[in-house]
Amino acid sequence: MSLNIPALALTRRLAAAAIAALATLCCAAPALAADPDEVKLAWGPGASWDFAYAQHVDLWRRFNLKINMIEGANGAALLPMLGSGEVQTATMAPSAMIVANSIGINLRVIYADASTTKLGLYANPASGMTADPKTWKGKNIGIAKNSQADYALRWSLQKAGMKVSDVNVVVLAPPVAVPAYQRGQIDGYYVWDVWGARLEASGAKLVQRAVDVGFASSSIWTMTKEFLASKPEVAARYVAALNQANVEMRDALAKGGADAEVVYAAISKANGIDRAAAEQLLKAQPPATLQALLSSDSPLSFVSKTGLLAQVEQQARIAVEAEAIKQYPANPQELLAPRSLLEAALKVRAQR
């Protein structure tokens, strides 16, 4: 058999080129992504739309995060978990954050994801209670003690020239409030958004909104000061993920149709409410982005004295009056995470 020298040479040259190309490709290939960073958190039903959506679409992986969640925790029940290090971040109201710091559990607000504009009194229509607190005298009104709702009730009564003793306060955690209402054990319940929607489904009516009597409120994410100090880059990625969830939800709701239905499904499933209630709550309390938190005119602003800081200051004063804390915080501004954290989060880009 005769050899075709030119053809053989060409074959060898092509083989050599293929090997060189493969070697270059191997060397240029990106290194494998590091294992995701774990964030241990506690979450309970409320206006944390961003978290519910992020869980629903598994958004965390795009920020190389692994979420280790304790579900169903709210208010004071969160504090031992945060104090022991069992969790590092949690959703709550400013009231709980203030109490935590007063007992040595150092928390900082890292995000404010919604103004809870439907915090208010949900009452039995047959009770005769209206927006005027004078109609509440002698009525059985439920609250979660030392919650944002507790402080809003106190504020409303004080504004009307009344005392807490003018009503029969019944201390009830939100999960047991709806059954208590259905059994007629309470005439109404002062509570926030999602639990209010559940009461409305049982026939209650929202007769007073706290925001209408000068008590602004919000759903916030807090993180331990220790975790912020030890893992600032992970904290920034977590804040960036919350922001991305809010951006995507706003875009989806603006588009409507199937895109919006994904958002409604996430919120209704996480909070145990129907699709109509989810839509209503999202309209009343749209998702808040980092741009809003860094603006000077948002009620959730980190940089304006009339924003989130004003809420913290108001609730801290009421907490002192209610003897939930012994003294007013020396510097309420320090309870908000530094602006640099939010600015760092804005620079984080999601992976695909």
pLDDT at position 1, please?
36
Q: Which helix (H) or strand (E) holds 339?
A: helix 339-346
- 3-class DSSP state of 167: coil
Instruction: Write the DSSP symbol of residue 33.
Output: P
pLDDT at position 78, please?
83
pLDDT at position 25, please?
31
Residue 322 or residue 72, greater confidence: 322
pLDDT at position 15, please?
39
- 285-309 average pLDDT score: 94
- 240-254 average pLDDT score: 97
Helices 257-271 and 275-284: crossing angle in degrees, nearest 10, is 100
Check whether 60 has a pLDDT greater than 80.
yes
For the chain, what percent of residues have pLDDT higher than 90? 80
pLDDT at position 222, please?
96
- 3-class DSSP state of 252: helix
Residue type, 70: I
Q: How confident is the model at residue 277 (pLDDT cuts 50, 70, 90)?
A: very high
- Residue-wise pLDDT tens digits, 16-59: 443 343 333 333 333 335 899 999 999 888 879 999 999 999 99
Top-ranked range on mean pLDDT: pick from 34-48, 72-86, 332-346: 332-346
pLDDT at position 73, please?
67
d(CA 322, CA 145): 10
Q: How confident is the model at residue 193 (pLDDT cuts 50, 70, 90)?
A: confident
pLDDT at position 57, please?
96
Q: How confident is the model at residue 109 (pLDDT cuts 50, 70, 90)?
A: very high
pTM here is 0.86
- 229-236 average pLDDT score: 97
Report all structural domains of the chain as residue ranges with CATH numbers, in order of start.
37-115+217-346 (3.40.190.10), 120-213 (3.40.190.10)
- Residue-wise pLDDT tens digits, 135-180: 999 999 999 999 999 999 999 999 999 999 999 999 998 889 999 9
Q: How confident is the model at residue 79 (pLDDT cuts 50, 70, 90)?
A: confident
Longest Cα–Cα distance in the chain: 112
Check whether 324 has a pLDDT greater than 70.
yes
Please give the order of strands across the beta sheet that includes 120-123: 168-171, 140-143, 188-191, 120-123, 205-209
